Chains A and B, each alone.
Chain A
């Protein structure tokens, strides 16, 4: 089985979730070709070999520096055919998921996004997908000869399994139609840990009382190398940017550790965090529903506990 992995790059670096996609493909077995689009650091691409790529293709065309859904889909679909691949694996993301949809339609593949573990290939090709926004799973069989799968964070463990691998330039011919959407500008937080990729998330709710108190959460996040998140009302009120809002209608996170401070734990919020490995809840109300979904809980005042917790973690490290 020949596997193609779309490797997403940001600012020339391979995204962490894409390393998981390479590791996932490697564990599935079969030769793994990784494909990177736009500018990307040579060392990062070579290193994909360590995580299981047997071949790395690089379409360095500068027009691909921006993540344009159609252009990306065209190049990936072409590579899928050129390489004679059976399966395309990529990490679900705001770019990856819509790109996967177009590629699947173009190459006539069975499509599954939100895949949480390795496919079962003992009888057909059965994947487990997260559905109902993390409240359930479905096992579905992908019956077409070609398959496209988008994986959720933590679907595979990133391990070194090999050594650096040479990078082959992949020349592309792009049509004007591929650039029917033009990106005119962008705003991006730089240097921060990105929420969907973070191993630890520190999240605040209305219990934080106002944006002026976020410094405390940010301190803790800094100590933990964590990303910051928030509940929906917090972003609705403009205390925090929209892309930090976690939940059913926001970002779905799956970190090792999710620390919720002053968040009541409404079911719509839980829907975005229920794939976390460990959940800590800090809330002054012992009846807050979030405690039922938590692994560890502290009943107390956030403003009292946050600085102490920050100190204790610093001391323990």
Chain B
């Protein structure tokens, strides 16, 4: 079984977000980058499937050269080889087209992604890739088991979950608790250095999205503290000042 895991390279979840160039560029200054947290779950499940059923795992990122440490980390976690499509990942459609192009050429049995990236938050790449390849897409997937040519999944819905069955190949957008995040061990880190990382040039795509400007939310006003023995005061503020009751 050939598994493709698509990972985004995103600011660490504790990062403060800033922009430069008149709010048209992300300010990467001092920002630590990680594998997207949902993508990390997808990768962890793929590596488990590799261990239990002898699958091969390819990780892919659409991004410029500075995402390579993130791909190496995925190799250290247990992926067998990596592909970087050498382009700025501007939006979901652009990224999805690049992934679909690669997947069509190679032919994977299973394509795992995160439910969403935590920078662009599109929640869309898996669906678009599924559509472009003409195969099913399921998201957000919280459980995934493979039995022969068939997969059994659980998908989170508002207030509950659904259990599904689908034949391979398909695309899944993953989230916890599909697997536990894996931390690379020393052997993984050593072997990651020599695992293949292929750089592929992008196809040209009109994604239909043009960035105009970034914006930060307005700063939050100061908190109003209320003494613990006066909850009535809180209730009246919520009612009359905030008008939310």
Contacts and interface: CB of A to CB of B under 8 A. Distances in A.
Interface in B167-198: 167, 170, 173, 175-177
Given A105-B93, A111-B208, A313 B235 contact: yes
A122 B145 CA distance: 50
A106 interface: yes
A187 B131 contact: no
Nearest to B116: A97
* Chain A interface mostly: mixed
Given A142-B208, A304-B228, A186 B162 contact: yes
Interface stretch (A36-44, A123-131, A163-171, A205-213): A123-131
Interface residues of B, number: 83
Contacts of A189: 159-160
B212 interface: yes
Interface string A75-96: 0000000000000000011110
Interface string B207-245: 111111111110011011111100110111111001011
B136 A180 contact: yes
B164 A257 contact: no
Given A102-B127, A102-B131, A294-B223, A184 B164 contact: yes
B204 interface: no
The residue among B130, B140, B207, B238 with the most chain A CB atoms within 10 A of its own CB is: B238
A69 B138 contact: yes
A316 B235 contact: yes
B238 A280 contact: yes
The residue among A69, A185, A242, A281 with the most chain B CB atoms within 10 A of its own CB is: A69
Contact of B160 (A93, A101, A102, A243): A243
Interface in A130-149: 130-144
B32 interface: no
Contact of B126 (A98, A110, A185): A98
Contacts of B245: 224, 257, 313, 316-317
Given A130-B121, A257-B245, A305-B228, A141 B236 contact: no
Contacts of B212: 126, 138-141
Interface stretch (B11-19, B45-53, B62-70, B72-80): B11-19
B238 A278 contact: yes
Given A143-B210, A313-B235, A136 B140 contact: no
B131 A105 contact: yes
Interface stretch (B1-9, B81-89, B104-112, B150-158): B150-158
A110 B213 contact: no
Given A136-B217, A185-B163, A242 B142 contact: yes
Nearest to A267: B14
Contact of B234 (A177, A242, A298): A298
A133 B121 contact: yes
Contact of B208 (A10, A106, A138, A144): A144
Nearest to A306: B231
Contact of B165 (A182, A242, A299, A312): A182
Contact of A268 (B14, B130, B211): B14
Contacts of A180: 135-136, 166-167, 170
B215 to A, nearest CB: 4
A271 B13 contact: yes
Contact of A137 (B136, B160, B215, B237): B215
Q: Which 6 A-B pairs have the closest CB atoms?
A: A101-B127, A300-B228, A110-B208, A188-B160, A144-B208, A101-B124
16 contacts: A70-B130, A70-B136, A102-B128, A104-B128, A105-B131, A110-B93, A113-B123, A114-B122, A137-B214, A183-B162, A184-B165, A196-B158, A243-B157, A257-B242, A280-B234, A312-B232
Given A188-B157, A312-B231, 5 more contacts: A102-B131, A111-B92, A132-B121, A249-B37, A298-B226
